Amino acid sequence: MQVDDMWYVITDGPMKIQTISTATTSTDDTPKMKEKSRYEWTSEDMRKANLDNVAKDILYKTLDKNMFSKIKSCSPVKEIWEKLTQLCEGNDQTEENKLMVATQKFNNIKMCSIETMTEFDERFSIIVIELSTLGTTCSNREVVIKVMRVLPKEWDIKTMAMRKSKDLNKLELHDLFADLKA
């Protein structure tokens, strides 16, 4: 429960310690809430009220001096989290630029003649993972065909045989590279 509470504090801000107000109800017959005075707090209320400080402490301990200097003026942990998200992920324009660059890498990739299949596998997989992280997923068929098209000419016979003998819709990328490496 504490992890859920802490994530709530990070994403929604400090918890408000409230109790049901006996004086009034809302128009839809749900009880109105009022802030609990500190002398009414239970130990669980105190723990929840302190979660903002606990979460801040955890974040502070994970940051280097450079990153800490960029967020030290932020007060609630929600504000710190939003600033860190902006610094690390950027805004919508930054994400759009990252996607454009990753798409260009995917479209322009070619296997170099001096590159081993293992090296190409790693380089290609990094681009596919990057695209996926940015929200663009490619079908198995699209990825497999892309690999087959960007291999050097000496791989043409092998890729033609694979196209005829395998179902490219079901062929996974790791299986393709395993076959090519063999």
DSSP letters for 88-126: HH--HHHHHHHHHHHHHHHHH----TT--HHHHHHHHHH
Residue 27 has pLDDT above 50, yes or no: yes
pLDDT of 162 reads 87
Q: Write the pLDDT tens digit of every residue in 86-129.
A: 888 777 788 888 899 999 999 999 999 899 999 999 999 999 99
- 134-143 tens-digit pLDDT: 888 888 889 9
How far is Cα 151 from Cα 69, in angstroms, rounded to an integer? 47
In this prediction, residue 30 carries a pLDDT of: 74
What confidence score (pLDDT) does residue 18 get?
85
Amino acid 1: pLDDT? 46
Locate 182 and state its tokens.
């063999």
Is residue 90 within 8 Å of 111, Cβ to Cβ?
no
Nearest to 141, CA basis, from 163, 160, 126: 163
Distance CA 122, CA 115 (A): 11
